[in-house]
Chains A and B, each alone.
Chain A
Amino acid sequence: MAETTEIRWHGRGGQGTVTAAKVLADACLSGGRHVQAFPEYGPERAGAPLRAYNRVSSHELRMHCPVLNPDVVTVVDATLLDSINITEGAKDATIFIINTTKDPKEIRAKLGAAASQKVITVDATKIAIDCFGRAMPNSPMLGALCKATGLITLDHLLEDVRKSFGKKFSQKVIDGNLEATRRGYEEVKEG
């Protein structure tokens, strides 16, 4: 990966997208890296489209504005593909990670992605429901992002998910999320 990785998350209020960006920032602290995580602030409404951002870099991050040209675009809710241009500002080698039941080839066609751009899909909502019974796709999406970018090892990510969720949730929910993160990592499809 380049010296600095910039990530843009698309989700809907209540899906844990902002939490995912925060967990990722914390996990990426390792190895002396610099991190940022910030949502696009507005009225916080369940179901409303939102964006969140990450920057991860080996050098100090001074930029204090939204990510304009993402290296990674993570879409936590596939229904956003019909209403929002998620490819906005994408680079030649941008990686798209989409939570969908559909085949990556179909998504690639829908996005009109270039051959140099990677399109990765994962059925994160199903994984979440399987693992802890709620349509909260953020932890499997973190797993998928981990696999797609190699920013951190799976073990490291799992440790951070355990730490972050451990503050708020029961052991059952934590275990479910750990399993969901692992499955997100394992079940990515590239096309």
Chain B
Amino acid sequence: MAKVVAVTGNEACANALRQVNPDVCGIYPITPQTDMMQRYASFISDGKVDTEAILVESEHSSMSACIGASAAGGRVITATSSQGLALMWEMLHIASGDRLPIIMPVVNRALSAPLNIHGDHSDAMGARDTGWIQIWSENAQEAYDNTIQAFRVGEHMDIRLPVMVCLDGFIISHSIERMEYLEDAEVKNFVGEFKNLYPLLDLEKPKSYGPLILTDLYHEYKRAQHEVMLKVKDVVLDVAKDFEKMSGRKYGLFETYRLEDADIALVILNSAAGTSKDVIDEFRNKGIKAGLLKPRLFRPFPYEEVAEALKNTKAVCVLDRSDSFGGYGPLFMEISSALYQLKERPVLINKIYGLGGRDYLPSHAELVLNELHGIAQGGKINIIKEYIGVRE
């Protein structure tokens, strides 16, 4: 029986982790994630889990400890945000290169400078190329569900890769929302017993991690890593199918909302997708065929499937909550790459919104949908990439 509660995104994720009860947890505080690991530390102190907590002196150390614990043969978690994820950067590559299935909620927050603690996607987008699987979440329920599913995806014997579960800082991490918890036993059964692959602590079979590999084989190892990423989509879908059987909640590579017959569409990640859906309903009521695509699996990116979902639209706006300065927004680049392979494709524009926690309001979605409507009616694109919700 599911339990209906009103909790924050951080509390929801902490409880997902508690229900999985991993072996080792690297802990270092950073706003807005702190509250999640603080709750998890309470679970440890209260004897609700038997996780070994490693309290470290930085996120670099936290990820290093996680890598060691995972190579040793444990089920390992940590969580971070913003500067913390940035400080982990070199170790992120080692976790994925060593093929260690570490699970890490990332509570998305802006990067300094200027110093800002609020939600945007600059942190996780900066870790886009680290070889981690990235799953994004709209609300507390999705963050909870994705955290549980992440274990099955990352630990799958054909995959063995680390997974980030992204949720918006403050907007989701600190806001109370209604959601449903699964039973502890259901989650335990769903994720299953942890199976290790090449545990260092198996002393009968000594082995080494992290050898020096130069021009002779490095290229081949990276080719193999690319191949594993190609298998992730199928595993994500299989795990989602099992999850739906248990919870009744359906997940895919991305979510589409009223997109089937849409002329115009928004592509947008995480919490702002919810706000956009309400505005799309208003446009539909006015007779304008608007729809939405919300990516869930961002790494690996499902290019063909996204192209297929958007191919019948006339105009699409990709909204990015981070910027690649001097380039287009990171999500725009993916959608652009996906659509380029189509013979006939929609017109594409890019808006940068909500940096450093700037509110994304229904009026912003209206503005963009009106512009798309004009373009779809035969109007011209004025500017491909532009900031919205910004003071002149």
Name A residues whose Cβ lies closer than 8 Å to a Cβ of B: 21-22, 25-26, 29, 32-39, 41, 61-66, 68
In the bound complex, what is the Cα–Cα distance between A70 and B162 (angstroms)? 43
- Known contacts A63-B274, A63-B362; is A36 also within 8 Å of B175 by CB? yes
- How far in angstroms is the closest Cβ of chain A from B266? 13
Please name 19 further chain A to chain B contacts, defined as beta carbons within 8 Å, in addition to the given A21-B176, A29-B4, A64-B175, sorted by A numbering: A22-B176, A29-B6, A33-B178, A35-B178, A36-B176, A36-B178, A37-B6, A41-B117, A41-B118, A41-B357, A61-B178, A61-B274, A64-B139, A64-B168, A64-B275, A64-B360, A65-B360, A66-B359, A68-B362
B171 within 8 A of A: yes
| Contact between chains at A37 and B4 (CB < 8 Å) | no
Shortest distance between the CB of B81 and any CB in chain A (Å): 14
The residue that A63 contacts in the complex, of B4, B118, B174, B275, with Cβ under 8 A, is: B275
Task: Point out the residue from A38, A63, A66 that lies within 8 Å of B176, measured CB to CB.
Answer: A38
Q: Is B278 an interface residue (CB 8 A)?
A: yes
A65 contacts which chain B residues (CB < 8 A)? 275, 359-362
Q: Are A37 and B176 in contact (CB under 8 A)?
A: yes
CA of A116 to CA of B132 in the docked complex: distance in angstroms?
56
Q: How large is the interface on B (under 10, 10 to 19, 20 to 34, 35 or more residues)?
A: 20 to 34
- Cβ contacts B1-29/A at 8 Å (1 or 0 each): 00011100000000000000000000000
Q: How far is the CA of A21 from the CA of B275 in the complex (A)?
A: 21
User: Are B278 and A63 touching (Cβ within 8 A)?
Assistant: yes
Tell yes or no: B170 within 8 A of A by CB: yes
A38–B175 touching, CB < 8 Å = yes
Does B271 interact with chain A (Cβ within 8 Å)?
Answer: yes
A34 and B178 form a contact (CB under 8 A): yes
Partner of B174, one of A21, A41, A61, A66: A41
Q: Contacts of B172 on A, CB cut-off 8 Å? A: 64
Structural contact, B6 and A64, CB atoms closer than 8 A? no
- Closest B residue by C-beta to A66: B359
Give bound CA distance, A64 to B277, whole Å.
11
Flag whether B177 is at the interface (Cβ < 8 A). Answer: yes
B270 to chain A minimum Cβ distance, whole angstroms, is 9
**Using a CB–CB distance below 8 Å, which chain B residues touch chain A?**
4-6, 117-118, 139, 168, 170-172, 174-178, 271-272, 274-275, 277-278, 357, 359-362
* A37: B residues at CB distance < 8 A: 6, 175-176
Residues of B within 8 A of A63 (CB): 274-275, 278, 362
Specify which chain A residues have a CB less than 8 angstroms from the CB of B168 in the assembled complex.
64
Give the distance in Å from the alpha carbon of A21 to the alpha carbon of B174 in the complex. Answer: 13
Q: Which residues of A contact B278 (CB under 8 A)?
A: 62-63
Please name all residues of chain B whose beta carbon is closer than 8 Å to the beta carbon of A26 when the two chains form the complex. 6, 176
**B140 to chain A: closest residue by CB:** A36
Nearest-Cβ distance from residue A187 to partner chain B, whole angstroms? 28
- Shortest B26–chain A CB gap in Å is 26
- B277 with A62: CB separation less than 8 A: yes
Task: Report how far A22 CA is from B6 CA in the complex, Å.
Answer: 9
Q: Would you give the shortest CB distance from A42 to chain B, in whole angstroms?
A: 9
Can you list 15 residue pairs at the A/B interface with Cβ under 8 Å?
Answer: A22-B176, A26-B176, A29-B178, A36-B176, A36-B177, A37-B176, A38-B175, A41-B118, A61-B274, A63-B274, A63-B275, A64-B139, A64-B172, A64-B272, A66-B359
B274 to chain A, nearest CB (A): 3
Q: Which residues of B sit under 8 angstroms from A22, Cβ to Cβ? A: 6, 176
- The docked-state distance in angstroms from the alpha carbon of A22 to that of B360 is 23
Bound-state Cα–Cα, A177 to B359, Å: 35
Complex Cα distance, B278 from A38, in Å, reads 19
Which chain A positions have C-beta within 8 A of B274? 61-64
